[in-house]
Amino acid sequence: MIYLYLYLGIGLLVGIGFSINGARAYAKAPPRTEMAAQALDPDWQPSKRRWLPLILISSLIWPVLLLLPLLERPFEAAAPIPEFAVTGDHLLESLTVAEIEARERVSDPLGAVPDLPFGHLNTAWCEFLAQCEEELEFRRFAADWDAGWCKERREGYVEMVDGQPGRFFMTVYKTLPEE
């Protein structure tokens, strides 16, 4: 029972604080409805108990107001999402650089995209090849990746270093529809 009295007592203090703050704001500028009511009836007086509902309601719901900031952020940190990496399960066929460039050549009849392998991404492809070692094997990969909040489809090409996937060049990166 003592907890109930403590709960209601804190709520009463919060309600009185709100009432004092509201009374100060009212003294500076009364609401338009009261000015209109006094203009229509000069004998009209505002209710003396208009702050009572505010005090009673705030004495009951004040903990909700204190809990709102806690509910906006999670209580514990989410597990970190692992960074995407190509694994052996994602690997598809083996291709040469010439085959990749022939496959990824963009033909645009309107001429908006350059007639180069990977179109506008040709510069990024050339930088990727410059960082790769000579005579390495390239494989195509395709993976459905769980990004934490959505599933994604990722496709591209990866260099094979000592039989293991190394650096990769991603060509497809799209969100899959939810099932």
- pTM across the whole model: 0.54
For the cut 70, the answer to whether the pLDDT of residue 77 exceeds it is no
For the cut 60, the answer to whether the pLDDT of residue 55 exceeds it is yes
pLDDT band at 131 (very low <50, low <70, confident <90, very high): confident
**Stronger pLDDT, 25 or 160, i.e. the higher one:** 160
* 166-170 mean pLDDT: 87
Q: What is the 3-state secondary structure (H, E, C) of the chain?
A: CHHHHHHHHHHHHHHHHHHHHHHHHHHHCCCHHHHHHHHHCCCCCCCCCCCHHHHHHHHHHHHHHHHHHHHHCCCCCCCCCCCCCCCHHHEEEEECHHHHHHHCECCCCCCCCCCCECHHHHHHHHHHHHHCCCCCEEEEEEEEEECCCCEEEEEEEEEEECCEEEEEEEEEEEECCCC
For the cut 70, the answer to whether the pLDDT of residue 116 exceeds it is yes
Q: What is the pLDDT of residue 78?
A: 66
| Lookup: tokens for 76 | 């514990």
Q: What is the pLDDT of residue 35?
A: 67
For the cut 60, the answer to whether the pLDDT of residue 15 exceeds it is yes
Q: pLDDT exceeding 70 applies to what percent of the chain?
A: 69
Q: What is the pLDDT of residue 29?
A: 65
For the cut 80, the answer to whether the pLDDT of residue 138 exceeds it is yes
For the cut 70, the answer to whether the pLDDT of residue 91 exceeds it is yes
For the cut 70, the answer to whether the pLDDT of residue 59 exceeds it is no
Q: What is the pLDDT of residue 83?
A: 82
**Residues pairing with 79 in the sheet:** none
**Stronger pLDDT, 15 or 123, i.e. the higher one:** 123
